Amino acid sequence: MKNFNKILDSFLIKDTLNPKIWENPSNPAKARMKYEVKSALLRIADEFIEYLGDDVFVDDIVLTGSLSNFNWSEYSDFDLHVLIDFSQYGKQSELYKELFDLKKQLFNDKHNIKIFGYDVELYAQDITEEHTASGVYSVMDGEWVEVPNKMEKDVDRDLLKTKIKSWTKKIDNVIEQSKNGEDGKKLKDIKTKLKEYRKCGLEKGGELAYENLVFKFLRRSGHIEKLFNTQNKLTDKELSIERENKF
């Protein structure tokens, strides 16, 4: 597979936080986000909040993910979460969650915002939602919510390769079967299994769990995008009617 080892190498733990983003990157407890980065993220978050199109009370704006930790790489992005207390919408809270999730997808699809070459991804998160992360930084307050710890866990590359190859084979097979006209249920099933696989790994082993690393590999290799695109094409075909032949 093209770039196989390059993607594997991206999981290596760095000695410091990303120096483009952080002051004092070698000391996470004292590390603070650089002013230009903080200002840019707040402007982007304000644009997103306005796009949500409602008088939203925001509790916090936080950065999470690899760029707030030691496992950053060229594949990282700014994982920017806008924290909202959805209980403010009362009985309509679930409706607003669905609406904001849809708007999040539209906003991210519509924009191609980058900082130092890294994509910026927005997300509206309920303050009650459980979120597994070892590094969380409040962009609003300019301080750590969860100080990152340098993870010392050694990753068994051979074991990880075996798990990756198993999942890539599963995905390639189900995509090939769908091309041969087989039921698209298998596509939906493998998406559900992959989601649960990652979730279980995060809950048990955190960000360096093999399940999470496998998921990240599949995302970086394009397999997850290919899986979603195949399902979308199959759905379009099932809902379409071929042009009527005229004799």
* Residue carrying the six token digits 């509206």: 124
Looking at residue 148, what is its pLDDT? 92
Looking at residue 157, what is its pLDDT? 87
Pick from 123, 108, 155: which is nearest to 10 by CA? 155
Chain mean pLDDT for the chain: 89
- Please count the other Cβ atoms lying within 10 Å of the Cβ belonging to residue 210: 18
**Region 113-118: what's the mean pLDDT?**
96
- Please count the other Cβ atoms lying within 10 Å of the Cβ belonging to residue 185: 10
Strand partners, 79: 64, 121
Share of the chain above pLDDT 90, in %: 57
The sign one gets for the Cα dihedral 169, 171, 177, 183 is: positive
Per-residue pLDDT for 246 more than 70? no
Per-residue pLDDT for 56 more than 90? no
Strands 77-84 vs 118-126: parallel, antiparallel or unpaired: parallel
pLDDT digits (tens, 9 = 90+) for 70-89: 999 999 999 999 999 999 88
pTM of the model: 0.80
At residue 53 the predicted structure's pLDDT band, cuts being 50, 70 and 90, is confident
Q: How far apart are CA 205 and CA 202, in angstroms?
A: 5
Cα 103–chain centre separation: 16
Looking at residue 202, what is its pLDDT? 85
Q: How far apart are CA 60 and CA 80, in angstroms?
A: 11
pLDDT digits (tens, 9 = 90+) for 16-29: 999 999 999 999 99
**Region 180-202: what's the mean pLDDT?**
85
